[in-house]
């Protein structure tokens, strides 16, 4: 009975807009609640795109601080807060990647090492797990334009419309990029699997 | 690898991907950033209404002062009243001294007033036929009501605009046609603030 009467914390009931307003008014708890709600999405996206946890953390922090500084930029009628945050994260990420052009196609050495690991001992691993590793490594081989579509559509399970809003492109472009990304991924993985199968034991 | 296999793998990878959560260390940073905003934005928010309150108070003060000044301006031509203290300021005429109390030289007008007061002293309010009328008030005549008052040591001339009907309260007779008329009268007022004599200026 007492459990039923206990009130939920206001952060869990409030909408994004209410929390945003409270955060702007200086409520730290509202800001923390917004971070709990959307921080994971922003961090995962930046982590998967950059392959660097410290870069992902830095960009995530900048994105949420933008919530406090770029007040007039967010328009709730044009899209959800998560979409807006992802859009900011993407712009900051691209700026970061432009500074490190070498990182565009050569990052996540750990994943490559894992992939090499699977090559070394495929018999010790389940085929499924091997495929997951291979896809993860294959994703890192994709160009960022295609990779971000795979992350948002396939991994985050966002709708095409949401992704189109984040990338600021038409929905048709999202579809075609995803199609191209999957075809390229399948090609990369097919080659990897063929290499693995062809290796002498 | 077929498309279906790829989708299955991506689905599994997605589950693994979504299990990643944002680092807790950022939560503290953002909490602090939002809280610092409260203290930073607190001062302007406080100052803004205070400034408006100050402006509103100033406006009210100016409005009230204007209204008072306007009312003074409208009453000034009609009523010029002076008490014993500030009499010279209100009345353009100089303060007069009684020859009884102060034998110093006084103005001829004050002399005339006192002479009139002495001459008409026997007048009583109980004798209406003898009461002066506005037409006979070209010079100062003592007021019947001031008959029992002590002799004033100092007289002040106070000019007042009043109606003919107002003269009756001083024990003066007023013709019926002059009741509604407005006239300018001069009162000789003693230092006790009570009128002793009256004269109709016009």
Domain ranges of chain B: 3-75, 87-200
Determine contact, residues B143/B184, Cβ cutoff 8 Å: no
Question: Given a cut of 80, is residue A126 above it in pLDDT?
Answer: no
Q: If chain B, 202 residues long, is cut into consecutive pieces of 10 residues, what is the mean pLDDT of each piece?
A: 80 88 87 78 57 89 90 65 41 41 47 57 44 67 82 85 83 80 87 86 78
CA distances from A7 to A1, A2, A11, A31, A34 (A): 12, 10, 11, 20, 19
Which residues of chain B are within 8 Å of residue A35 when distances are taken between CB atoms? 22, 26-27, 30
List the domain boundaries for chain A.
10-103, 109-193
Residue A5 binned pLDDT confidence (cut-offs 50, 70, 90)? very low
Interface membership of B19 toward A (CB under 8 Å) = no
Which residues numbered 52-111 in B keep a CB inside 8 Å of some CB on A? Answer: none
The CATH code that applies to domain A10-103 is: 1.10.1740.10
Indicate yes or no: CB of B20 within 8 angstroms of CB of A57: no
A18-42 tens-digit pLDDT: 888 888 888 888 888 889 899 999 9
Q: Is A109 helix (H, G, I), strand (E, B) or coil?
A: helix
Chain B residues within an 8 Å CB radius of A47? 20
Region of poorest pLDDT, from A97-111, A183-197, B129-143 = A97-111
Size of interface A-B (CB pairs under 8 A): 115
Of B10, B14, B34, the CB nearest to A28: B34
Q: What is the nearest CA distance from A2 to chain B, expressed in angstroms?
A: 30
Whether residue A118 is predicted with pLDDT greater than 50 in this model: the reply is: no
Where does B19-153 have alpha helices with state H?
A: 24-75, 87-90, 108-119
For the cut 90, the answer to whether the pLDDT of residue A170 exceeds it is yes
Is the backbone of residue B108 left (phi > 0), alpha (psi -120 to 50) or beta?
A: alpha
Which of A58, A108, A127, A131 should one mutate to test binding to chain B, selecting the residue with the greatest count of B CBs within 10 A? A131
Q: Is residue B135 within 8 Å of B176, Cβ to Cβ?
A: no
Selection from B15, B10, A118 nearest residue B2 by Cα: B10
Residues of A in contact with B31 (CB under 8 A): 28-29, 31-32
Could you report the predicted ipTM of this complex, rounded to two decimals?
0.72
d(CA A14, CA A18): 6
What share of chain A in percent tops pLDDT 90?
31
Question: Residue A197's pLDDT band (boundaries 50, 70, 90)?
Answer: low
Whether residue A51 contacts residue A140, with contact meaning beta carbons closer than 8 Å, is answered with yes
Alpha-carbon distance B45 to nearest alpha carbon in chain A (angstroms): 11
> CA–CA separation, B163 vs B179, rounded Å?
7
Instruction: Give the closest-approach CA distance of A62 to chain B in angstroms.
Output: 10
Query: Which pLDDT does position A26 carry in this prediction?
Result: 83
Q: Do A31 and B39 touch (CB under 8 A)?
A: no
Compute the Cα dihedral for B81, B85, B86, B88 and give only its sign. positive
> Considering only CB atoms, which chain A residues are within 8 Å of B38?
25-27
* CATH dotted code for A109-193: 1.10.10.10
Nearest to A65 among B20, B27, B33 (CB): B33
């Amino acid at each position: 009975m007492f459990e039923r009467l206990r009130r939920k914390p206001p952060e869990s009931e409030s909408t994004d807009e209410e929390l945003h307003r409270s955060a702007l008014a200086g409520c730290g708890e509202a800001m923390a609640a917004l971070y709990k709600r959307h921080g994971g999405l922003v961090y995962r996206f930046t982590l998967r795109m950059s392959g660097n946890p410290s870069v992902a953390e830095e960009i995530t922090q900048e994105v949420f601080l933008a919530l406090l500084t770029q007040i007039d930029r967010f328009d709730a009628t044009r899209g959800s807060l998560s979409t807006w945050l992802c859009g900011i994260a993407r712009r900051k990420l691209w700026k970061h990647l432009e500074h490190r052009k070498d990182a565009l196609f050569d990052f996540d050495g750990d994943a490559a090492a894992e992939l090499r690991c699977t090559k070394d001992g495929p018999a010790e691993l389940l085929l499924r797990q091997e495929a997951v590793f291979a896809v993860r490594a294959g994703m890192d081989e994709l160009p960022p334009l295609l990779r971000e579509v795979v992350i948002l559509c396939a991994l985050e399970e966002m709708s095409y419309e949401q992704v189109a809003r984040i990338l600021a492109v038409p929905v048709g472009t999202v579809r075609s990029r995803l199609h191209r990304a999957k075809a390229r991924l399948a090609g990369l993985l097919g080659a990897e699997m063929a290499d693995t199968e062809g290796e002498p034991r | 690898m077929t498309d279906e296999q790829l989708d299955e793998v991506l689905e599994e990878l997605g589950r693994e991907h979504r299990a990643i959560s944002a680092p807790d260390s950022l939560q503290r940073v953002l909490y602090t950033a939002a809280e610092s905003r409260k203290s930073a934005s607190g001062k302007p928010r406080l100052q803004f209404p205070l400034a408006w309150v100050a402006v509103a108070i100033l406006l009210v003060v100016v409005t009230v002062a204007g209204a008072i000044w306007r009312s003074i301006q409208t009453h000034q031509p009609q009523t010029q009243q002076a008490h014993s203290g500030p009499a010279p300021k209100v009345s353009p005429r100089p303060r007069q001294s009684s020859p009884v109390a102060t034998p110093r030289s006084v103005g001829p007008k004050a002399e005339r007033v006192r002479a009139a007061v002495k001459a008409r002293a026997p007048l009583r309010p109980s004798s209406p036929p003898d009461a002066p009328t506005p037409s006979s008030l070209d010079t100062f005549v003592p007021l019947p009501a001031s008959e029992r008052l002590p002799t004033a040591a100092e007289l002040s001339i106070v000019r007042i605009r009043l109606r003919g009907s107002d003269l009756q309260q001083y024990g003066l007779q007023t013709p019926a046609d002059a009741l509604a008329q407005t006239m300018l009268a001069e009162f000789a007022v003693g230092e006790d603030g009570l009128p002793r004599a009256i004269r109709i200026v016009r």
